[in-house]
Amino acid sequence: MMSSLRYGAAARLNKALALLLLLCSVMAAPARADTVHLLALGDSLTQGYGLIEQEGFVPQLRAWLAERGHDVRLVNGGVSGDTTAGGLSRAGWSLTPEIEGMIVTLGGNDLLRGLPPEVARANIEGILKIAAEKDVEVLLVGMQAPGNYGPDYKAAFDALYPELADAYGALFFPSFFEGIMPDGEMSEEARSLMQPDGIHPNGEGVARIVEAIGPSVEALIARIADAG
């Protein structure tokens, strides 16, 4: 009788120890990271003009990040034809409460229309101010003016992006087309990565663009995690 009692007590003790060990292992395991919510605010380059949906910038960037283990919800805030003024006009309501980070890719349509660099600067600065007010981290993507507008215009336009990124503590990526034109020149290979209009990348071109900008988006995600 005593032997059976001792056996029962030992069995219960073993079960209790096993449960304790299980609880300890669960508590010690790293918690699953929460989903990071990002907004891509831009124009047709962001929106995916001329491409089937899965070939666009936002879907390809989503897939690139997922392949690297990032749990990210990336909202496509690209509007074809939008200028920096258009981006500013919708930045406030586009930054819904769950958005933690924003990728800003605007300025191409300002260039196509020959708008003054100081106007683009004021609009981009307005977007950065709204982001700061909402505690949203920003990756600002630069844009370069063509030389045919003259050296003063080009210098002023090209400089506004790194200067504003520095002033507002935003992350900076030099050019949306970095993955296609790393030297800023439209080579024959670069032309093969563009759609017939010569303005928008094709699906393969977008893949190159995502590969180039991806690490900077990862840096944005890391900054959000550190801030949290």
Q: How confident is the model at residue 181 (pLDDT cuts 50, 70, 90)?
A: confident
In this structure, are 26 and 117 located in the same domain? no
Q: Which of 135, 152, 183, 197 is an active site residue?
A: 197
The pLDDT tens digits for 3-51 are 444 445 444 544 544 444 444 443 433 333 589 999 999 999 999 999 9
In this structure, are 144 and 171 located in the same domain? yes
In this structure, are 75 and 62 located in the same domain? yes
Stretch 110-132: mean pLDDT, rounded?
97
- Order the strands of the 101-105 sheet from edge to edge: 72-78, 36-42, 101-105, 137-141, 171-173
In this structure, are 153 and 135 located in the same domain? yes
Stretch 60-81: mean pLDDT, rounded?
97
Q: How confident is the model at residue 162 (pLDDT cuts 50, 70, 90)?
A: very high
Q: Which of 37, 44, 82, 94 is an active site residue?
A: 44
Please report, for residues 87, 170, 181, 216, 220, the alpha-carbon distance to residue 65 in angstroms, rounded to integers and kept in the order given.
25, 20, 22, 11, 12
The pLDDT tens digits for 82-114 are 999 999 999 999 999 999 999 999 999 999 999
The pLDDT tens digits for 199-210 are 999 999 999 999
This prediction has a pTM of 0.84
**Are the beta carbons of 93 and 39 closer than 8 angstroms?**
no
43 assigned to active site: no
What's the domain range around 15? 1-30
Please report, for residues 17, 27, 77, 92, 118, the alpha-carbon distance to residue 122 in angstroms, rounded to integers and kept in the order given.
65, 50, 20, 15, 6
In this structure, are 24 and 40 located in the same domain? no
In this structure, are 88 and 69 located in the same domain? yes
Number of domains in the chain: 2
CATH classification of the domain holding 136: 3.40.50.1110
Phi-psi category of residue 63: left, alpha or beta, with phi > 0 → left and psi -120 to 50 → alpha = alpha
Looking only at the bridges linking them, the beta strands covering 101-105 and 36-42 are: parallel
- Mean residue pLDDT across the chain: 88
In this structure, are 92 and 110 located in the same domain? yes
Q: Which of 37, 158, 175, 200 is an active site residue?
A: 200
In this structure, are 49 and 132 located in the same domain? yes
In this structure, are 136 and 41 located in the same domain? yes
In this structure, are 98 and 169 located in the same domain? yes
In this structure, are 6 and 81 located in the same domain? no
In this structure, are 41 and 17 located in the same domain? no
197 assigned to active site: yes
